[in-house]
Amino acid sequence: MSSLAPRWLQTVSELGLRLIVIAGFLILLGLAIDRLRLIFLPLLAALILSSALLPAKHLLMRRGLNNVLSAITVVIAGLAVLGAIGYFTIDTLTSEFADLEVDIEAGFTEVLQSMGDWAGISDEQIDDAIDQVLESARGNADTIAGGVFSGVRLAAEVLAGIILLAVLTFLLVKDAESMQRGIARRLGRAQRRNFLQLSTGLFDTLGKYFRGVTIVAFMDALLIGIGLVIIGIPFALPLAVLTFFGAFIPVLGAVLAGLAAFLIALATEGVTAALIVGALVLAVQQIEGNVMAPFILGRSISLHPMLVILAVSTGGALWGIMGAFVAVPLTAIAVSLLDFYTKTGRYSAKSRPGSAAIAPGPES
């Protein structure tokens, strides 16, 4: 007896069921990751950091140091650099944050008042609306800070995350190759080749991403900082610092850092200076997008801007600033996995990457 349902309806139903199963799996995976974020985020950060430090370890090993000493040296040096950058950033921003906040608010107010004059809205109405928005934002920030995390709990979680990050980074830098070979030995011949190819490609992607984004961020901050000093905009150093960290949140970070520079220039130096700053930011972003990023990062980890925006927004909504930082590397991993299973991109027949161990270096 033939089915009463038409063929097209059966096809749509089967497709809908598959989509529901996939969506349910992704939701459960997201909930599990969110529950384990205090472990998952340091682990992902350790993978990114260790993939960037492995070439330095192999360089030291070629100079005569053994595996353990090389790993200890590069991990301590890497964490020391990150700590110095963090201290410098916090010291720079906190020392000038009060004045910086006032200038950003002043610039934002001036923009809205200009728009209000064009739309026929009085300055008093605009001032009241701005005050309500700022009070609401500050009140919500206090509520979030006090309700979700107490100061002691937040400090404990941050400290635990830093310790876990340091330990995981050291273990990965020291034992990445041995762990990879140990897993490969337990697989069949075909699976072994696929595993070595995929794991090497993922580590290579993460390492290129972190090293490339760091270089691009430094160049962005340097160009923006020099330009702001030449134009005569105050707070050039903290704005350069914001630009540096904004580069680790593609698209959205650059927009926010550029907007802050524009508003400060508008509040302190006037419309002409603000327009010059806007042109400077756009020029630097064009240089980054069309010259630095393709050359430094390479096409192997290039992602469509819409995918980047969705990834950063989702990561930020789930895990705040840390989620926005790790969203793009996670997306790059997902795209790399898709390329592997579809045999496209770096895993296409034309590319034929080798199946050597992760960034092979001399034995200890």
Contact between 44 and 330 (Cβ < 8 Å): yes
Structural domain span for residue 329: 37-347
| Residue-level pLDDT at 4 | 63
> Which residue type occupies 282?
L
82 inside domain: yes
Residue 354 lies in a domain: no
Q: Which residue has the tokens 């969506």?
A: 23
For residue 235, give the DSSP letter. -
Distance CA 354, CA 92 (A): 45
Round to whole Å and give the CA distance between 83 and 77: 10
CA dihedral sign, ordered 49, 54, 59, 60: positive
Task: Tell me, yes or no, whether 62 lies in a domain.
Answer: yes
Q: pLDDT band at residue 342, thresholds of 50, 70 and 90?
A: confident
Tell me how far apart the alpha carbons of residues 114 and 41 are, in angstroms, rounded to a whole number.
43
- Give the pLDDT band of residue 48 (cuts 50, 70, 90): confident
Residue 4 lies in a domain: no
- pLDDT confidence tier of residue 315, bands split at 50, 70 and 90: confident
Does residue 127 lie in a domain region? yes
Alpha-carbon gap, residue 144 to 270, rounded angstroms: 36
Q: How does DSSP classify residue 187? A: S
For the chain, what is the domain count? 1
Q: Which of 65, 83, 67 is nearest to 173 (CA)?
A: 67
Q: DSSP characters for 11-45? A: HHHHHHHHHHHHHHHHHHHHHHHHHTHHHHHHHHH
**pTM, whole model, 2 decimals?**
0.67
What residue spans of the chain are helical by DSSP H? 7-35, 37-62, 67-119, 123-147, 151-185, 189-231, 236-246, 252-269, 271-287, 293-297, 305-342
Does residue 18 lie in a domain region? Answer: no
Whole-angstrom Cα distance, residue 255 to residue 252?
Answer: 5
- Own/partner pairs, 263-266, CB within 8 angstroms, 24+ separation: 263/103, 263/104, 263/106, 263/107, 263/108, 263/111, 264/100, 264/103, 264/104, 264/107, 264/233, 264/234, 264/235, 264/239, 265/107, 265/231, 265/233, 266/107, 266/110, 266/111
Q: What is the mean pLDDT of residues 293-319?
A: 71
3-state secondary structure string across 130-167: HHHHHHHHHHHHHHHHHHCCCHHHHHHHHHHHHHHHHH
**What tens digit of pLDDT does each residue of 206-260 get?**
888 888 888 888 888 899 999 999 988 888 888 888 888 888 877 777 778 888 8
- Whether 11 is in a domain gets the answer no
- Nearest 5°: CA angle at 7, between 6 and 10? 95
State pLDDT tens for residues 70-104: 999 999 998 888 888 777 777 766 666 555 555 66
Confidence of residue 1 (pLDDT cuts 50, 70, 90): very low
What amino acid occupies position 357?
Answer: A
- Residue 9 inside a domain? The answer is no
Cβ–Cβ < 8 Å for 344, 184: no
SS3 234: coil
